[in-house]
Every structure is written in C-alpha cells, then in structure tokens.
Amino acid sequence: MVPLGLVFELVLPLILWADISAGVGFRFASYIHDYMVLQKEPAGAVIWGYGVSGATVTVTLWQDQETIMKKVTSVKAHSNSWMVVLDPMKPGGPYKMMAQQTFGTMNFTLRVHDVLFGDVWLCSGQSNMQMTVSQIFNATSELSNTAAYQSVRILSVSLVEAEQELEDLPEVDLQWSKPTAENLGHGSFQYMSAVCWLFGRYLYDTLQYPIGLLASSWGGTPIEAWSSGRSLKACGVPRFTASDFVAGPSQHSVLWNAMIHPLHNMTLKGVIWYQGESNININRDLYNCTFPALIEDWRQTFHRGSQGQTERFFPFGFVQLSSYWSAATSDDEFPEIRWHQTADFGYVPNLRMPNTFMAVAMDLGDRNSSFGSIHPRDKQTVAYRLHLGARAVAYGEKNLIFQGPLPEKIELLTDKGLLNLTYSQQIHVQRQDKIFEISCCRDQQCKWLPAPMNTFSTQTLDLNISSCHDTVVAVRYAWATWPCEYKQCPLYHPTSTLPAPPFIAFITNQTPGYHSKDMK
C-alpha cells in the first residue's frame, strides 16, 4: 500500500500544476473588462486582480502591435491579489491590455480590448439616481442619441448587500459597454442611471475625450447604508437595536460594503450623488454630519486604495432634493434635508465640504410623474446644472456661473419697515409674495410670516416686513416641500437661468446684516 502522505506529495503538485496552466484563479478585478475607460493623466490607472500566490504577473498595454508599457508585479501570499499602477496616459485609445501570470514554466494570459483613457466618474444614491433614460422626458429621442457618444462608456453595479467590506464586486448588472438604446433603456430603475449618463454626455460635449461612468445606486436607501462604520460613529448615529432591526438594503453600511468599497482600488476622477429622500424620516437632523462625513470617508478610502492615484479631495457633486407633491409631508422636512445637504451653509463648496458642487433642483418638481412626484422626469436639467458645477469645480473653468444667486448682505431697515437683501450676482425676479418669510418674535415666541417683495433692482431686493410688529430675527427663502412650479421660482440668475438656492439666515439687532458664515 502506498502511504497516504506520498499520494499527497505526488498528486497535489500535479493538481496545482494543472490549475496554474489552466489559469484557475487568475483573473482581473470584476470591473476590468473590454470597453472600459481607465483614468487618464495626471493620475495613473490602477489595474488589479487575483492569481496564484507567488506567481509573477506582467501587465502589458499596447496599440497597433506596439507595446506602450509593461508593468511587472507578483501575487501576494495572503490575499492572492496583485496590483500595478500604470504610467499616466493621455486621453484616447483604443488600447489592448494583457495580464500574464507566470509560475515556473507555466503561464496564462488574460486580455481585454477597446480600452480608453479618459475621466472616470462614479454615480451613486437612491432611486432618483437609479432612474433610467427610458423613464425621463423625451426618452425616445434621448435613447436614440448614442451614436455620437461611443466614447462615453457605462457600467452598472448589481444590487448587493454585505455585512463586511468586500474587496471585489460580487456582481455587475451591466459590464463596461458602449451606450445603446437597449442598455440605457433597460427598464424602470434597472441600469443605467439617466442622471449619470446625461452628466457624462454633457461632460463629453465639453471635454471631447472619453468618459467612463459607473452607476452604483439603490432606490429607497438612506445615507447610513452607504456609510462606513467609521463615519456613522463620527456622527453619533444611533446603532440599530434588535427591535428596529429590519434586514435589507437600509441597514448600516451594507451598500458601502458591497457596492462602493469594492471600487476603492480603482483610480477615479470624481463622484456624483443623488440621495436624501430616504433620510426625511431617518436621522434627518444628523444629515448635516453624515453627508460631509460620507464624502470625507469615501475620499480617504479611495485615495488610499488607489495608492494615492485618486485625488485626496477628489471632486464630489450632488443634487439638492427636488420637490415632492404630498399632503403627508410636513413642510420642514424637505427644506431641512436640502439645507443639511450643504452642511447648513446654503452653498457649496464651503469650509466643511471642500471641492464639492451642487445642482439645485427644487424648481423641477413633476407632480404628474408616472413614477410618483418623488421621481421628477426632467433629469436633463439636473445633469446640465451638475455638469456646470463639475466644469467649474472639477475642471477649473474660470468665470463660469455654476450656482444661482444668494444674498451676501441682509440689512434690517426698521424705520422703513423693510429688509434689504443684496445679492452676490444679478437676479431675475418674478414677483411672488409668499416665498420669503420672516421669523417674527415677541418674548421668545416666534412665528413665520410672509414677507412680500417690495422693490428690486439688478442685485438688490427689499422685502416688506410691516406685518411684523415685534422683532424680526430671521429670514428664509423657498422653505417648502414644493416651493414653486416647474422652472417658475421667483429668483434666477438672468443668463445662466440657475435658480437661487433656498436659504435661512438669522438677523441680530446688534449686528444688522450678516456674512455667509452666520448662515446657520
């Protein structure tokens, strides 16, 4: 009888030998695939995958039979993973890429083709990010408009939850693809995100080089699901208790773990985000902490995961909540989330949210939306406003107006019964007597009263405050779930047609007027 130990000694190496030569276990990360876009210069794109511990991996990039670069690494022992950082590449393509694993005399090769270099943006959030092109206004013409955008490539991450941070995506709904009417209009809320696609398309119109778009969003989910344990702890978010434990995608960190963390080793240009509706009734008062904390945590994690290739303060854009037609919602909930989305500044970027940009959307309400008024169908304007922010903040375009007017001085003219607002930009005004309100107080008892518009000029606006016979302590604008009809808010910037964002500002008797830092 042959001793058992000898069987193992003889047979195991044979199995290993066979596995390696067949390339078993050797693969790229799930999202490295034909048609992908890799981040262009000045960053280097990270390429990684799994293999046999100790094997050598050679990554080669070539174009028209000519080798552009070769990078050699080895498979790490514990994680069985390998990683290389490519040299910074100018935008363009297509390239072919090959990864070859060699182990002794055995080798195995993986190939991807039609790889472009450009800017890679990650798009996340809840259902308004998930809504597809087939669900928006002018869907038919938008879906047929893909021929000119074959260098805008798309990928959509599957809806998965996990209890622990995952290293790779368990599943991808739509692997890197060229855009077609089929994969952009796949079905309601099923890949690919319309806001993400339109944002990329507008960027392409300006930049004229490849854009890679990864959509990773899930309807009805609160910010807590997309946040790491670190950021939730930093904001003092109460832990789920056994009694309110509901299994599903709303649990703490489950989507961060499965749908975002697996992307942290890739090199990105930036992130866009459309979320907040689900936090109307979940930790709403903490959103002014949880949102800035999420941005900071994603930035740290992606910077570290990409070996410093993704910028430490990469650009982060978001959509401020639109309007909702409902009798059930109290009139403070939407305005409070909108305000908290700016960390209570009213505008971005600001001290707590550096390098961010925002698309105001409160004037894009759609009470007749076939998907409920919570899902407005004009996503073109949302993406257009967002791309203006990206051009100014992420691409440094000078003199581009990317946000609407806010008052930079507020002066109480008590003797005249007026409140004088001086705006930072020109204003286009359409008279509306209820959209400004003042807080009128006597003995700590305050109530909000409408402050009708009195006179206005190109940059100033006077409000009539004669209805308050006591002390005016604050003023607010558009503080309502549904502040105005479609594109009919009373204040816009005249040429960019960007709406004035909602704000609340306190006025103190001692120091009439305020500076933006007082807007709390």
Q: Which residues bind ligand NAG (CB under 6 A)?
A: 48, 79, 81, 83, 102, 107, 137-138, 265, 285, 288-289, 304-305, 344, 368, 378, 380, 413, 416-418, 420, 422, 454, 460, 462, 464, 466, 486
Q: Which three-class secondary structure string do you get for 243-299? A: HHCCCCCCCCCHHHHHHHHHHCCCCCCEEEEECCHHHCCCCHHHHHHHHHHHHHHHH
In angstroms, give the least distance from the CB of 454 to ligand NAG: 5
In angstroms, give the least distance from the CB of 136 to ligand NAG: 7
Specify the residue, 129 or 174, whose C-beta has the smaller distance to ligand NAG: 129
| DSSP helix/strand/coil, 319 | strand
Specify the residue, 114 or 167, whose C-beta has the smaller distance to ligand NAG: 167
Q: Could you tell me what percentage of the chain is helix, strand and coil, using 3-state DSSP and rounding each to the nearest 5? A: 25, 30, 45
Is the bond preceding residue 42 a cis peptide, omega within 30 degrees? yes
DSSP characters over 84-129 = EEPPP--SEEEEEEEEEEEETTEEEEEEEEEEEEEEEEEEEESHHH
| DSSP helix/strand/coil, 219 | coil
Residue 378, CA atoms < 13 Å, CB-side half-sphere: 18
Q: Yes or no: say if 358 and 319 are a contact pair by the CB < 8 Å rule.
A: yes
In angstroms, give the least distance from the CB of 413 to ligand NAG: 6
Specify the residue, 218 or 256, whose C-beta has the smaller distance to ligand NAG: 256
Specify the residue, 167 or 173, whose C-beta has the smaller distance to ligand NAG: 167
**What length is written for the chain?**
520
In angstroms, give the least distance from the CB of 70 to ligand NAG: 12
In angstroms, give the least distance from the CB of 157 to ligand NAG: 17
Q: b vs e for 497-520, b when ≥16 Cβ sit within 10 Å of the residue's Cβ?
A: ebbbbbbbbebeeeeebbebeebe
Specify the residue, 312 or 416, whose C-beta has the smaller distance to ligand NAG: 416
Beta strand pairing call for 106-125 and 92-103: antiparallel
Specify the residue, 208 or 368, whose C-beta has the smaller distance to ligand NAG: 368
In angstroms, give the least distance from the CB of 300 to ligand NAG: 10
In angstroms, give the least distance from the CB of 288 to ligand NAG: 4
Q: What value does the CA radius of gyration of the chain take, rounded to a whole number of Å?
A: 26
Q: In what order do the strands lie in the sheet with 407-413?
A: 407-413, 418-423, 460-464, 453-456
CB count within 10 Å of CB 187 equals 9
Beta bridge mates, 158: none
Specify the residue, 183 or 288, whose C-beta has the smaller distance to ligand NAG: 288
In angstroms, give the least distance from the CB of 147 to ligand NAG: 18
Specify the residue, 137 or 395, whose C-beta has the smaller distance to ligand NAG: 137
| 45: amino acid identity, one letter | A
| 206: amino acid identity, one letter | T
In angstroms, give the least distance from the CB of 82 to ligand NAG: 7
Specify the residue, 341 or 403, whose C-beta has the smaller distance to ligand NAG: 341
Specify the residue, 227 or 420, whose C-beta has the smaller distance to ligand NAG: 420
Q: Yes or no: say if 458 and 423 are a contact pair by the CB < 8 Å rule.
A: no
Q: Yes or no: say if 174 and 191 are a contact pair by the CB < 8 Å rule.
A: yes
In angstroms, give the least distance from the CB of 420 to ligand NAG: 4
In angstroms, give the least distance from the CB of 225 to ligand NAG: 20
In angstroms, give the least distance from the CB of 7 to ligand NAG: 28
CA nearest neighbour of 334 among 360, 316, 357: 360
Q: Yes or no: say if 161 and 254 are a contact pair by the CB < 8 Å rule.
A: yes
Specify the residue, 141 or 444, whose C-beta has the smaller distance to ligand NAG: 141
Specify the residue, 454 or 496, whose C-beta has the smaller distance to ligand NAG: 454
